[in-house]
Structure 1
């Protein structure tokens, strides 16, 4: 397993980028064949429910296929099954609870920090493409996800929460972070894998990219300490899917989300995050396994 070198992580990321960019147009053209009236190149379609679903499915496939193709290239050297490269052990219930609790608290603190930063640097609320159009990604996403249909809401939880939650953790934590541990310490490994994780979010919003980068340190640490990939996967699903669920029951939440939390809420989040991380830190797991 040590045949995979640290620089292979960047190669695998480039492979993912190529596959994801190729899959997007293919899926869009397939949808165009079904409904010729749709302008698949318009921003209106991209921020519609079908557009979001297709982008999510395309990215999910790329996250899974990229490490699999890389494994095929090194199969003769690794001499192991593909899924054996990942740690899908049954998660510890106690660690799952504290990790999810910590995810809510840490995610809220990061959100408040980025929103405060946005007040100082308003341009970070735009992404690479939305900056040219002066569009706010989160406002458009919030409008697209609003629905009063329970089953549509569940579908959006799938494409916004479950698929990205599994795919991104599978690729960035389960694959890239472990590759970087071949050469670097934990901090640098998370820095590199988290940096690439943030990079793919710059298209959406620079502030979102910063949030993704910062949350990588929590998710990466949780995975490193527990050695259970299902735990950061569940944390990621919760972080993404909870927004859709709350938006279904409280449609005004999309507008409230643009305001930083008051100081006393941030203090509570800080205390909860600190206690949760302490519990995770004290967890005794197997030694870190590298690829």
Structure 2
């Protein structure tokens, strides 16, 4: 990223501006959705909680999901980029280099067994007795989100599958990466004066903002991975593509499970592997990450020669 011009401004003021636009756009979009829902005689509770039952979500719920991604993340990021036109917030160096996209997907596949065991550990997280109320609230939030996700992704017709690819795959991938790995990561790199630290801080925020506490650590690690993709390649589209593939693969797998009359619980059930598989996954993932880093350094995609 080009931080030369950005360094001349106070990064804290930029952070306040970005969050101000985020708050304003979020409120505006939610009000528009509520107004549209009222005009269409829709249940406005669909904005805040899933409906009872197993039926798939309706068109209005898809509008809510898509509008939330665009209004909360994409529009504020685009406004921020327009206001800071001299700063390259959405870098796209050598964006046609297909090998960088392949590296990202290979890493996701290689790391999936490790991600599975981390997810299992996170799901079994417990709190001390004094924090039992907090734990119960977190469990309720997790169950509500799981119910909404199940209603959304467990479909067996192509039309709804394509809608899921749009609102779960494409829109969140572009919107969240532009906001988190584009605008926010660039700001925190200036605040902390260290890009590596900014990757982790933004990944923590990225995971926390989803309010799915029993998936916090896997999502945080995904955020770290997306952050390094942008830093190493100097191309935000590598992170967008990896994010898209990660989300879309879930929607396609859910479509297959629903078509086979399988349940959402069967979909999210983690496979158990031997210790050899987990160690192999970790070793291959580290090797892929190292080769990826060396490739981007050799190609000078990020600018100067690294390492």
TM over 0.5, yes or no?
yes
Match of 2:264 in 1: 254
TM-score (norm: length of structure 1): 0.81
1:87 equivalent in alignment to 2:91: yes
Match of 2:228 among 209, 221, 225: 221
- CA distance 1:280–1:49, shift in 2 (3 Å): farther
1:15 equivalent in alignment to 2:31: no
Q: CA deviation at 1:136?
A: 4.7
Residue 142 of structure 2 contacts residue 213 of structure 2 at CA under 8 Å; is this kept in 1? Answer: no
Match of 1:106 in 2: 111
1:270 equivalent in alignment to 2:274: no
- CA distance 1:79–1:191, shift in 2 (3 Å): closer
- CA distance 1:272–1:250, shift in 2 (3 Å): farther
- CA distance 1:117–1:259, shift in 2 (3 Å): same
1:145-177 C-alpha deviation (Å, 9 max, x unpaired): 111111210110110111001111111111111
- CA distance 1:24–1:222, shift in 2 (3 Å): same
Q: CA deviation at 1:253?
A: 6.8
Residue correspondences, number:
279
Partner Cα separation in structure 1 for residue 244 and residue 165 of structure 2: 9
Match of 2:249 in 1: 242
Residue 106 of structure 1 contacts residue 215 of structure 1 at CA under 8 Å; is this kept in 2? Answer: no
Match of 1:33 among 28, 36, 39: 39
Residue 116 of structure 2 contacts residue 270 of structure 2 at CA under 8 Å; is this kept in 1? Answer: no
1:189-219 C-alpha deviation (Å, 9 max, x unpaired): 11222222122112xx102333222222111
Gaps of 5+ in 2: none
Structure number with the bigger relative contact order (C-alpha 8 A, sep ≥ 6) is 1
Q: Within 5 A, what are the aligned runs for 1:197-212?
A: 197-202=206-211, 205-212=212-219
- CA distance 1:97–1:36, shift in 2 (3 Å): closer
Q: Within 5 A, what are the aligned runs for 1:1-12?
A: 1-2=5-6, 3-8=8-13, 10-11=15-16, 12=18
Larger radius of gyration: 2
RMSD: 3.2
Residue 222 of structure 1 contacts residue 280 of structure 1 at CA under 8 Å; is this kept in 2? Answer: no
Secondary structure of the residue that 1:270 maps to in structure 2? helix
Residue 88 of structure 1 contacts residue 230 of structure 1 at CA under 8 Å; is this kept in 2? Answer: yes
Partner Cα separation in structure 2 for residue 56 and residue 190 of structure 1: 26
Match of 2:302 in 1: 286
Gaps of 5+ in 1: none
